[in-house]
Amino acid sequence: MDRTLRWLRASRQAMVAELRQLVQTSRLLHTATALVHQLQRERGLSNLYLGSPTDAWLAPLTQQTVTTDREQKDFAAELDAIDSSATTPGLQRARLLTDIALVHQGLQALPWLREQVLQRRCSARWATQAYIRLIQTLLSMVFEAADAAQDPDISRCLVALFHLAQGKEFAGQERAAGALAFARGTIAADEQQHLQHLIDAQQRSIEVVTTLTSNDLADALTSLPEATELARLERFRRHLLSAGAAVRLDSSCSAAWFAACTARLDGLRRVEEQLVEELRALSEHKLQLAKRSLAELDRGDLDLRSSEDAWRDAAAFFAAEIEAAGPAARAPSWPHGSIACVLQVIEAQSRQLQQVTAELERVRANLQERRLIERAKGLLMARQGLSEADAHRRLRQQAMNQGRRLVDVAQALLSTAELLPTDRS
């Protein structure tokens, strides 16, 4: 086979391998997001159980662990189907595999976490943070998959899925926080601030999703939950956010709050399932197109080229330079007519890859901005002992005071990290 064609074929084989991996990743994310949904419910029920003085929530929590374990089994089966030794090398892929290893470790520790909850050996706040740690590790897989994807359409779908999953997680944390407050009958001022942060954060995430998804999915998101459920949820929110330290919350509202939040989360899960299905179908479609392109190259008999074909390729290679030089630089004529040559195939593929790269950069811009902002928040939390809500609030305040974008403030903070004072208290 001609060496030019050999490398062209290798390029298309690489595209097929990348898309085949994305198909596998989409199946993994389907089971991962399903597992997250059940862990979020388990977290909320754990808070109700730990916040209540009775064992009224023990049976629902025990039943939920069985449901979670079923989803975990499906997720584990999908993990086992991954051939880690056959994955494409690269930093993003390495990070994805590292996340998978962390998820596996976290799931192995889940029975121990459950034992701490059931035996009431931990506080509700500690249990919440433990569940958040496990869920965020699962969601990090979505982030790394979006960062690793090389197709702009698939990348856009993955970025939308990441933001939707994050918004849904904020909604899940809101359910857990409110459940604890109602179960124990009180809510502190810092908890109210955190609750408001969760409400704002989930709204911001969903707004990003609506700009990246189809109109049908965007409409479905903006109408969640139904009007009656939304009105009930808003009443509960106002009650929690306005209650003073001395106000006693009605613990009998625990179930109603949990149901209202669950209706919203279940609606978000339905949209999430649609988005995951779109991702799977899109990945399969792109893979079939890439396979067809590779097969067409193999069937083209271009590897049986004659010496005349090689000369024609040479003339075509310099055609652009000759045209740029103007009419004074006359090209030598080719007596055999204008027959398609292998260079046209290479140039077409090169143009396609350039367009893909440009589009991919645009799609990834939002994802990279989110990463910078999250890193800046983490730096403030670690160095100055701030909560996530306070760290985000400080970044936003600096952005408004300086008239700059939030991501620019985050970048500046990270670039001067060594100058940031550390809270010694």
pLDDT digits (tens, 9 = 90+) for 189-240: 989 988 998 998 888 888 888 887 777 787 777 777 666 777 889 999 999 9
Q: Which one is predicted more confidently, 230 or 88?
A: 230
Tokens representing 336 are: 């055999």
How does DSSP assign 321-348, residue by residue?
HHHHT-TTSPPPP-TT-----HHHHHHH
Predicted confidence at residue 55, as pLDDT, reads 93
Residue identified by tokens 């919203």 is: 264
How does DSSP assign 358-425, residue by residue?
HHHHHHHHHHHHHHHHHHHHHHHHHHH---HHHHHHHHHHHHHHHT--HHHHHHHHHHTGGGSPPP--
Tokens representing 381 are: 């939390």
224 in helix, strand or coil?
Answer: coil
Residue 340 CA to residue 307 CA, distance in Å, equals: 15
Predicted confidence at residue 362, as pLDDT, reads 61
Q: Is the peptide bond before 89 cis (omega within 30 degrees of 0)?
A: no
Task: Identify whether the C-beta of residue 68 lies closer than 8 Å to the C-beta of residue 197.
Answer: no
Residue 132 CA to residue 39 CA, distance in Å, equals: 9
Predicted confidence at residue 249, as pLDDT, reads 92
List all residues 6 or more positions away from 36 whose beta carbon is below 8 Å from its beta carbon.
135, 138, 139, 165, 168, 169
List all residues 6 or more positions away from 371 whose beta carbon is below 8 Å from its beta carbon.
143
Q: Which of 261-265, 344-348, 379-383 has the highest mean pLDDT?
A: 261-265
When pLDDT is cut at 50, 70 and 90, the band that residue 410 belongs to is confident
Q: Which one is predicted more confidently, 192 or 425?
A: 192
Residue 336 CA to residue 306 CA, distance in Å, equals: 13
Specify the DSSP class assigned to residue 225. S
Tokens representing 101 are: 């290893």
Predicted confidence at residue 336, as pLDDT, reads 38
Predicted confidence at residue 385, as pLDDT, reads 77
Rg (CA), the chain: 27
pLDDT digits (tens, 9 = 90+) for 155-171: 888 888 888 998 999 99
Which of 374, 324, 342, 398 has its CA nearest to residue 147? 374
Residue 44: exposure state from Cβ atoms within 10 A (0-12, 13-18, ≥19): buried
Give the architecture-level CATH label for domain 307-322+339-419.
Answer: Orthogonal Bundle (1.10)
Which of 411, 389, 404, 379 has its CA nearest to residue 177? 389
Residue identified by tokens 């064609």 is: 5
Task: Identify whether the C-beta of residue 165 lies closer than 8 Å to the C-beta of residue 227.
Answer: no
Residue 147 CA to residue 96 CA, distance in Å, equals: 9
Tokens representing 179 are: 């459940």
Within 10 A of 132 (CB to CB), how many other CB atoms are there?
Answer: 18
Residue 356 CA to residue 115 CA, distance in Å, equals: 49
Residue identified by tokens 């890439």 is: 290
pLDDT digits (tens, 9 = 90+) for 237-248: 999 999 887 789
pLDDT digits (tens, 9 = 90+) for 299-331: 654 444 444 555 455 555 555 545 544 554 444
Q: What pTM was computed for the model?
A: 0.74
Residue identified by tokens 């339905």 is: 270
Residue 16 CA to residue 332 CA, distance in Å, equals: 39
What are the extents of the domains in the chain? 19-290, 307-322+339-419
Task: Identify whether the C-beta of residue 46 lies closer than 8 Å to the C-beta of residue 124.
Answer: yes
Residue 98 CA to residue 78 CA, distance in Å, equals: 16
Tokens representing 391 are: 């760290």
